[in-house]
Structure formats: C-alpha cells, structure tokens
Amino acid sequence: MQTTSNIDTTSRRALTKRRQTASKFNVGKRSPAVDSGAVLIGYARVSTADQNPDHQVDALLRAGVAERDIHLDIASGAKATRPKFDLIMQLLRAGDTLKVTRLDRLGRSLLHLVTLGAELRDREVGLHVIEQGIDTATAEGRAMFGMLSVLAEYQRELIVANTHDGLAAARARGRAGGRRPRLTADQAALAQRLYDDGQHTVAQIAAMFGVPRSTVYGHLDKTSIGNRPTLASASRTRTEP
C-alpha cells in the first residue's frame, strides 16, 4: 500500500517528467532541413501541468510532424494569449500545414476558430485536425470550415438579437440598460461628502463601501476632483477656534 508520502513523490516525478517533455519541443525555429519548403507544424495544449500531453504528441508524431516542430502550451483554452500558439502563428509560412489532434486544442470558441481558419486560408496555410478528420487541403475539409463559418455568424446574430431584446424589455419596465451602478444614490452622496471633507483618501472611502477606487471616482462630481482640501489643511481647519 502506497503511503501519502510515496504518492506525493510519484506525482512530483510525473510532473517533472511532463515539464521535461515540454522542454523537448517549442524550439522556436523552423526545421533547418526544410527551410526552403513546406513544413508540418504541430500544436498541442493541456490546461495544467498535471495533465498529460503524451496522447497529443504521439498523434502528431504519427501524422508526420517532426519532434522539433511540435509546440506545446500549458495554458487554459480560454486564455487570450498562449505563448506557443502565438509563436507558431509567427513561424507558419505559405504552403505549411498546422496539425492538431482536435479543434478544442486550437480555438477558444467557435468564433475564434472561424477567424483563425480564415486567417490561415488567407496566408495559404493548411489545417489538419487529426482526430476529427478535418483537412483544409481537401474539398470536404474546406466545406466543413464553411459550415463552421455559417454557425459562427448565426451565433453572433443570436447574441446581438438577445441583447437587443433584453434592453427593450428593460426599457419597457422603466429600467435603463447597461451595468447597474456599484453605489446607491445615498452611498454616492456620502462618498462625495467624505471626499469634499478632505478627511479621507479615496482608497479609504472605497474600502468603506467595499468597491475599487475607480468606482468612487466614477461617482464623484468631476469638478470637485483635485480641488478638495488636503488632509493636513482640513485638520488645521477643524482645530482652529
């Protein structure tokens, strides 16, 4: 029976091995032997260092991608910036093919996937999604991306329509659209008095209401900002007979 200590040690060793695996890739250069021709560039991604990328890496190797041309990100797909993905977008040239195991390894959303597909097409870069059988070098693969484009446009129109419907319903009930203010009218008036009094900093006022300083500034009379007495002068004024 493994003790907790043995399990922790095994986990640490597995994590170290995965980080070492990642370090073998991501060289940041195109293969020198084929600099003058097309290159197969592989992209793999896991969300955390605890996850194992071996399945993706093995699939990319079987698909003909050289080990040095596999780029591995350890990042959530929801992140706008993924260092190795940004790198491969710089490395790709006309005639190259980008290979991934599944679309969800590549795009943050349907809209992002369609935008990426359009960019790759404009740059004359192919896209091969190994496990889902999408290959833009074929008529079927291009048709698949065309259908994704239609779905993305439909999704965008639904979002716009639902937003407009929600705002119209709010106006019909006498409410203005948009984000509600963080402070009530009474709280905003108190914040203004505290600010004008000069006895409290904006940070202190914000802490009283549990909001960021930017929220307090947003509720202050713009003509009063920067024109209040300093803490020292306000203190002298209060102590004078």
| Entry pTM | 0.54
Catalytic site positions: 47
**Sign of the CA dihedral with 61 first, then 66, 68, and 73 last:** negative
pLDDT, tens only, 41-54: 999 999 888 888 99
Q: Specify whether the CB–CB gap between 19 and 49 falls below 8 A.
A: yes
Q: Specify whether the CB–CB gap between 229 and 237 falls below 8 A.
A: yes
Residue ranges with strand state E in 18-92 = 40-46, 70-74
pLDDT truncated to tens, each residue of the chain (241 aa)? 444 444 455 545 554 555 455 555 554 555 654 555 789 999 999 988 888 899 999 999 999 999 999 999 988 766 667 889 999 999 999 999 999 998 888 876 777 787 888 889 899 999 999 988 889 888 888 887 777 767 766 766 777 787 877 777 777 777 655 565 578 888 888 888 888 887 888 888 888 888 888 888 888 887 777 666 655 554 544 444 4
**Percentage helix, strand, coil for the chain under 3-state DSSP, each rounded to 5:** 55, 10, 35
Output the CATH code of domain 8-137: 3.40.50.1390
